[in-house]
Chain A
Amino acid sequence: DAGVTQSPTHLIKTRGQQVTLRCSPKSGHDTVSWYQQALGQGPQFIFQYYEEEERQRGNFPDRFSGHQFPNYSSELNVNALLLGDSALYLCASSLWRAQAFFGQGTRLTVV
Protein backbone atom coordinates (compact mmCIF):
# COMPACT_ATOMS: atom_id res chain seq x y z
CA ASP A 1 0.00 0.00 0.00
CA ALA A 2 1.59 3.24 -1.20
CA GLY A 3 -0.24 5.47 1.25
CA VAL A 4 -1.08 9.03 0.26
CA THR A 5 1.13 10.29 -2.55
CA GLN A 6 1.55 13.90 -3.63
CA SER A 7 3.25 15.43 -6.63
CA PRO A 8 5.40 17.28 -7.20
CA THR A 9 7.45 17.32 -3.98
CA HIS A 10 8.86 20.77 -4.62
CA LEU A 11 7.80 23.59 -6.91
CA ILE A 12 8.93 27.14 -7.61
CA LYS A 13 6.51 29.56 -9.26
CA THR A 14 6.50 33.25 -10.06
CA ARG A 15 4.02 35.66 -8.52
CA GLY A 16 0.85 35.86 -10.63
CA GLN A 17 1.21 32.38 -12.09
CA GLN A 18 -1.11 29.43 -11.57
CA VAL A 19 -0.21 26.08 -10.01
CA THR A 20 -1.77 22.62 -9.84
CA LEU A 21 -0.88 20.14 -7.12
CA ARG A 22 -1.91 16.50 -7.22
CA CYS A 23 -2.85 13.89 -4.64
CA SER A 24 -3.53 10.17 -4.84
CA PRO A 25 -5.33 8.89 -1.74
CA LYS A 26 -4.53 5.79 0.23
CA SER A 27 -6.10 2.70 -1.30
CA GLY A 28 -9.75 2.38 -0.33
CA HIS A 29 -10.12 5.98 0.86
CA ASP A 30 -12.88 8.10 -0.65
CA THR A 31 -12.35 11.51 0.99
CA VAL A 32 -9.55 13.95 0.28
CA SER A 33 -8.74 17.10 2.22
CA TRP A 34 -6.15 19.78 1.51
CA TYR A 35 -4.21 21.80 4.07
CA GLN A 36 -1.76 24.70 3.86
CA GLN A 37 1.09 24.88 6.34
CA ALA A 38 3.11 28.07 6.57
CA LEU A 39 6.52 27.94 8.19
CA GLY A 40 6.28 27.53 11.96
CA GLN A 41 2.50 27.13 11.94
CA GLY A 42 0.12 24.20 12.14
CA PRO A 43 -1.67 23.04 8.99
CA GLN A 44 -4.72 25.11 8.00
CA PHE A 45 -7.72 23.43 6.37
CA ILE A 46 -8.42 24.53 2.80
CA PHE A 47 -11.23 22.22 1.65
CA GLN A 48 -12.48 18.66 1.56
CA TYR A 49 -13.80 16.57 -1.32
CA TYR A 50 -16.12 13.59 -1.14
CA GLU A 51 -18.01 11.98 -4.02
CA GLU A 52 -16.39 14.52 -6.36
CA GLU A 53 -17.96 17.47 -4.56
CA GLU A 54 -16.51 20.09 -2.26
CA ARG A 55 -18.07 19.30 1.13
CA GLN A 56 -16.32 21.73 3.47
CA ARG A 57 -14.22 24.82 2.93
CA GLY A 58 -11.91 26.74 5.19
CA ASN A 59 -11.21 30.45 5.16
CA PHE A 60 -9.40 30.61 1.84
CA PRO A 61 -10.14 32.88 -1.14
CA ASP A 62 -11.65 31.68 -4.40
CA ARG A 63 -8.18 31.65 -5.93
CA PHE A 64 -7.94 28.24 -4.28
CA SER A 65 -10.01 25.62 -6.06
CA GLY A 66 -10.00 21.88 -6.33
CA HIS A 67 -11.32 18.82 -8.00
CA GLN A 68 -11.84 15.18 -7.17
CA PHE A 69 -11.85 12.56 -9.91
CA PRO A 70 -13.89 9.32 -10.08
CA ASN A 71 -10.84 7.35 -8.90
CA TYR A 72 -10.82 9.60 -5.77
CA SER A 73 -7.58 11.37 -6.68
CA SER A 74 -7.63 15.12 -6.32
CA GLU A 75 -6.07 18.34 -7.54
CA LEU A 76 -5.56 21.66 -5.81
CA ASN A 77 -5.35 24.70 -8.06
CA VAL A 78 -4.15 28.11 -6.97
CA ASN A 79 -4.52 31.09 -9.34
CA ALA A 80 -2.80 34.46 -9.30
CA LEU A 81 -0.11 33.29 -6.89
CA LEU A 82 1.01 35.63 -4.13
CA LEU A 83 4.25 35.53 -2.19
CA GLY A 84 2.15 34.59 0.85
CA ASP A 85 1.04 31.39 -0.84
CA SER A 86 4.49 29.96 -0.26
CA ALA A 87 3.91 27.01 2.06
CA LEU A 88 3.82 23.25 2.44
CA TYR A 89 0.60 21.93 0.93
CA LEU A 90 -0.64 18.73 2.50
CA CYS A 91 -3.17 16.25 1.23
CA ALA A 92 -4.99 13.92 3.61
CA SER A 93 -7.22 11.01 2.73
CA SER A 94 -9.72 9.08 4.78
CA LEU A 95 -12.86 7.09 4.71
CA TRP A 96 -15.74 9.40 5.54
CA ARG A 97 -15.84 8.57 9.24
CA ALA A 98 -12.29 7.48 9.96
CA GLN A 99 -8.97 9.12 10.78
CA ALA A 100 -7.08 10.99 8.08
CA PHE A 101 -3.71 9.93 6.72
CA PHE A 102 -1.42 12.59 5.32
CA GLY A 103 0.97 12.65 2.41
CA GLN A 104 4.45 14.15 2.61
CA GLY A 105 3.33 17.39 1.06
CA THR A 106 4.32 19.69 -1.79
CA ARG A 107 6.65 22.55 -0.91
CA LEU A 108 5.55 25.56 -2.99
CA THR A 109 7.80 28.59 -3.21
CA VAL A 110 6.48 31.72 -4.89
CA VAL A 111 9.13 34.22 -5.99
Chain B
Amino acid sequence: DAKTTQPTSMDCAEGRAANLPCNHSTISGNEYVYWYRQIHSQGPQYIIHGLKNNETNEMASLIITEDRKSSTLILPHATLRDTAVYYCIVRVQAGANSKLTFGKGITLSVRP
Protein backbone atom coordinates (compact mmCIF):
# COMPACT_ATOMS: atom_id res chain seq x y z
CA ASP B 1 0.00 0.00 0.00
CA ALA B 2 1.04 3.55 -0.66
CA LYS B 3 2.55 5.27 2.35
CA THR B 4 1.28 8.70 1.38
CA THR B 5 -2.06 10.51 1.53
CA GLN B 6 -3.02 13.16 -1.00
CA PRO B 7 -6.25 15.04 -1.71
CA THR B 8 -8.12 13.69 -4.69
CA SER B 9 -8.06 16.88 -6.71
CA MET B 10 -7.40 20.59 -6.73
CA ASP B 11 -7.35 23.43 -9.19
CA CYS B 12 -5.55 26.70 -9.62
CA ALA B 13 -5.50 29.63 -12.00
CA GLU B 14 -2.93 29.84 -14.74
CA GLY B 15 0.06 31.90 -13.68
CA ARG B 16 -0.54 31.37 -9.98
CA ALA B 17 1.41 29.09 -7.70
CA ALA B 18 0.06 25.56 -7.24
CA ASN B 19 0.74 24.08 -3.80
CA LEU B 20 0.19 20.33 -3.71
CA PRO B 21 0.17 18.77 -0.21
CA CYS B 22 1.17 15.27 0.81
CA ASN B 23 1.07 13.47 4.14
CA HIS B 24 3.58 10.72 4.91
CA SER B 25 3.35 10.35 8.67
CA THR B 26 4.98 6.88 8.75
CA ILE B 27 8.05 7.84 6.73
CA SER B 28 11.28 6.16 7.83
CA GLY B 29 14.58 7.90 8.34
CA ASN B 30 16.09 6.46 5.16
CA GLU B 31 13.11 7.17 2.91
CA TYR B 32 13.07 10.01 0.44
CA VAL B 33 10.04 11.94 -0.77
CA TYR B 34 9.62 11.76 -4.56
CA TRP B 35 7.16 13.55 -6.80
CA TYR B 36 6.15 12.36 -10.25
CA ARG B 37 3.41 13.59 -12.54
CA GLN B 38 1.51 11.90 -15.30
CA ILE B 39 -0.08 13.80 -18.12
CA HIS B 40 -2.96 11.94 -19.72
CA SER B 41 -1.89 8.75 -21.53
CA GLN B 42 1.82 9.42 -21.04
CA GLY B 43 4.38 7.77 -18.78
CA PRO B 44 5.05 9.33 -15.37
CA GLN B 45 7.58 12.17 -15.37
CA TYR B 46 10.05 12.70 -12.54
CA ILE B 47 9.75 16.14 -10.92
CA ILE B 48 11.85 16.33 -7.77
CA HIS B 49 12.88 14.46 -4.66
CA GLY B 50 14.31 15.24 -1.23
CA LEU B 51 15.24 13.74 2.12
CA LYS B 52 14.83 16.49 4.69
CA ASN B 53 16.04 19.74 3.20
CA ASN B 54 13.96 21.84 0.87
CA GLU B 55 14.80 21.30 -2.77
CA THR B 56 14.32 23.37 -5.91
CA ASN B 57 14.90 22.66 -9.57
CA GLU B 58 13.75 24.11 -12.85
CA MET B 59 10.32 22.50 -12.54
CA ALA B 60 9.30 22.89 -8.92
CA SER B 61 10.16 23.33 -5.26
CA LEU B 62 9.74 20.71 -2.56
CA ILE B 63 9.13 21.81 1.00
CA ILE B 64 9.45 19.09 3.66
CA THR B 65 8.35 19.79 7.23
CA GLU B 66 10.92 19.49 9.97
CA ASP B 67 9.35 16.30 11.35
CA ARG B 68 9.23 14.95 7.75
CA LYS B 69 5.62 13.85 8.18
CA SER B 70 4.36 16.00 5.33
CA SER B 71 5.55 17.90 2.32
CA THR B 72 4.34 20.36 -0.31
CA LEU B 73 5.19 20.46 -3.99
CA ILE B 74 5.12 23.99 -5.34
CA LEU B 75 4.75 24.83 -9.03
CA PRO B 76 5.57 28.54 -8.91
CA HIS B 77 3.76 29.68 -12.04
CA ALA B 78 1.29 27.01 -13.17
CA THR B 79 0.48 26.72 -16.86
CA LEU B 80 -2.22 24.77 -18.68
CA ARG B 81 0.43 22.16 -19.51
CA ASP B 82 0.82 21.43 -15.81
CA THR B 83 -2.64 19.84 -15.73
CA ALA B 84 -1.85 16.26 -14.70
CA VAL B 85 -2.03 13.66 -11.94
CA TYR B 86 0.71 14.29 -9.38
CA TYR B 87 2.04 11.40 -7.29
CA CYS B 88 3.81 11.80 -3.98
CA ILE B 89 5.89 8.70 -3.15
CA VAL B 90 8.20 7.75 -0.31
CA ARG B 91 11.02 5.43 -1.22
CA VAL B 92 14.42 4.23 -0.10
CA GLN B 93 17.17 5.15 -2.53
CA ALA B 94 18.38 1.65 -3.28
CA GLY B 95 18.17 -1.94 -2.28
CA ALA B 96 15.39 -4.44 -1.85
CA ASN B 97 12.64 -1.91 -1.23
CA SER B 98 13.55 0.79 -3.71
CA LYS B 99 10.47 0.27 -5.88
CA LEU B 100 8.07 3.16 -6.45
CA THR B 101 4.70 2.60 -4.78
CA PHE B 102 2.11 4.82 -6.42
CA GLY B 103 -1.18 5.79 -4.84
CA LYS B 104 -3.98 7.45 -6.77
CA GLY B 105 -2.29 10.82 -6.76
CA ILE B 106 -3.85 14.26 -6.88
CA THR B 107 -5.39 15.57 -10.08
CA LEU B 108 -4.34 19.16 -10.66
CA SER B 109 -6.47 21.16 -13.06
CA VAL B 110 -5.04 24.50 -14.17
CA ARG B 111 -7.75 26.83 -15.40
CA PRO B 112 -7.23 29.72 -17.85
Residues of A within 8 A of B (CB): 4, 33, 35, 41-45, 48, 55-56, 58, 88, 90, 92, 96-97, 99-105
| Docked-complex contact A102 and B44, CB < 8 angstroms | yes
Supply 22 A–B pairs (Cβ within 8 Å), ascending by A.
A4-B43, A35-B100, A42-B2, A42-B87, A42-B105, A43-B102, A45-B100, A48-B98, A48-B99, A56-B96, A56-B97, A92-B44, A92-B100, A99-B46, A100-B100, A101-B46, A102-B36, A102-B43, A102-B46, A103-B43, A104-B42, A105-B43
Q: Which 7 A-B pairs have the closest CB atoms?
A: A42-B102, A102-B43, A97-B94, A45-B99, A102-B44, A43-B102, A99-B46
Count of interface residues, chain B, beta-carbon cutoff 8 Å: 24
- Specify which of B49, B97, B98, B102 is in contact with A44 (CB 8 Å cutoff): B102
Known contacts A100-B46, A102-B45; decide if A42 and B104 are in contact (CB<8 Å). Answer: yes
- Specify which of B34, B49, B97, B100 is in contact with A43 (CB 8 Å cutoff): B100
Q: Does B65 contact A (CB under 8 A)?
A: no
Which residues on the A side are within 8 Å of B44 (C-beta)? 43, 90, 92, 102
Which residues on the B side are within 8 Å of A104 (C-beta)? 42-43
| Docked-complex contact B102 and A97, CB < 8 angstroms | no
| Docked-complex contact B99 and A56, CB < 8 angstroms | yes
Cα(A92)–Cα(B101), bound, Å: 13
Min C-beta distance of A59 to chain B, whole Å = 11
Cα(A103)–Cα(B45), bound, Å: 9
Closest to B34 in A: A99
Which residues on the A side are within 8 Å of B96 (C-beta)? 55-56
Q: A42-B87, A45-B100, A92-B44 are in contact. List 13 more A-B contacts (CB 8 A).
A: A42-B103, A43-B100, A45-B101, A48-B99, A55-B96, A56-B96, A56-B98, A56-B99, A90-B44, A102-B43, A102-B46, A103-B43, A104-B42
Which residues on the B side are within 8 Å of A58 (C-beta)? 99
Closest to A55 in B: B96
